[in-house]
Amino acid sequence: MDLFLFAIGYLGLTAFFIGILLFGESPVFRNTPIASLHWFVTQGIFDGLGWIVAKTCGARGARALDSVYLTCCERPNAALQVAYLAMVLGGYWLYWNNLFSLLPNPWADRDHILLGSASVAVSLGLFVFASASDPGTIRAGDADTLAAWHALYPLDNAIWPEKTCSTCGLCVARHDHHCAWINNCVGAANMRHFLAFLVANLAMCAYGAVLACVILGGEMEARGVWRLNLVNYATGRVVPMWRVPSKMLEWLIVLYPVGVAVGLFMGVATLLVAFFLSYQLYLLAVGRTQYEMFRWRDLHHQMLEEAEQQEEQRIAAEREAATREAEAAGKGGGGKQ
């Protein structure tokens, strides 16, 4: 397979997968393959895994799986915080040994080592700050603050019910969501810290991806790859190697496999963070939180289901009425004969 097309396809599928996760539950995609894919990715796979565990391991295995799910997904835990630190610090170590070690070269100088290290340090600092920040917790005895928030957002048991985070149990002012990456709620008091954390990570990933391309391009320049030609011995045609991206990528993978992998990973990470940051900024622009969007979505689905049920009942009633009229007309015709 053409490696260049494979890389493009990989990035495209990643973007599509992100779109499915973020927007698959939208009412716009109701009863479409997009909604089915979203259900399969977010619920169907796990339901299937649960069924397999229950069949192979019995009730005890199913309970163990439920316990793992509750611990990892429904309770505060540092699993994704550890994963984030492992990815950032491990990625920085790989970058240092496989990309920074190539500097300076014709396209990049050693100043990028300082800039890249600074971007990692800023991201880690904002990660710690966002993780430790108070999201705007409303204490049980703080009646005045609670009354003020209820005045801004009156309870209606639909969009604005009494809200306590289902993961950590805190009552948070303007609760947006519980972010597992920072193991903390995001609310009125720390939204700016969370956005700064996202922006810093987007800048770090985008800078790392672009710099990887620049460093590897400089290595090709230093080795004269840009001036190489490919010869088709069957036709005698001579083509510059840079016009055949798949050959360039093959050359890079052979000589710099880890550098290419790190650059590709950072490109995918850039897409992930960019999608989520864009969604978060969109919510800010329309003045809603993630929690509100989910409540509106659920309410919209409920209204659509009720409308469909009412339509089905109306059609059934019309059919029943038509059947009765036909039976009455039949009996009347038989009496006249």
Dump pLDDT digits (tens) for 21-56.
767 766 667 778 888 888 887 788 888 888 898 888
Residue 334: predicted pLDDT: 56
Report pTM: 0.78
Mean pLDDT on 312-319: 89
Mean pLDDT on 149-155: 73
Which position has the higher pLDDT, 243 or 270? 270
Mean pLDDT on 277-299: 85
Model confidence at 20, in pLDDT bands (50, 70, 90)? Answer: confident
* Predicted confidence (pLDDT) at residue 102 exceeds the cutoff of 80: yes
- The answer for residues whose C-beta is within 8 angstroms of residue 13's C-beta and 6 or more apart is none
The amino acid that residue 179 corresponds to is: C
Residue 67: predicted pLDDT: 83
Which position has the higher pLDDT, 169 or 133? 133
Residue 156: predicted pLDDT: 66
Residue 22: predicted pLDDT: 66
Alpha helix segments (H runs only) across 162-289: 191-222, 245-255, 257-286
Handedness of CA 317, 318, 323, 325 (dihedral sign): positive
* Predicted confidence (pLDDT) at residue 327 exceeds the cutoff of 70: yes
Model confidence at 82, in pLDDT bands (50, 70, 90)? Answer: very high
The token duo for 112 is 């990028």
Kind of pairing, strands 237-240 and 184-186? Answer: unpaired
- The answer for residues whose C-beta is within 8 angstroms of residue 130's C-beta and 6 or more apart is 182, 184, 190, 193, 194, 196, 197
Cα–Cα dist 22/239, whole Å: 43
Mean pLDDT on 194-222: 95
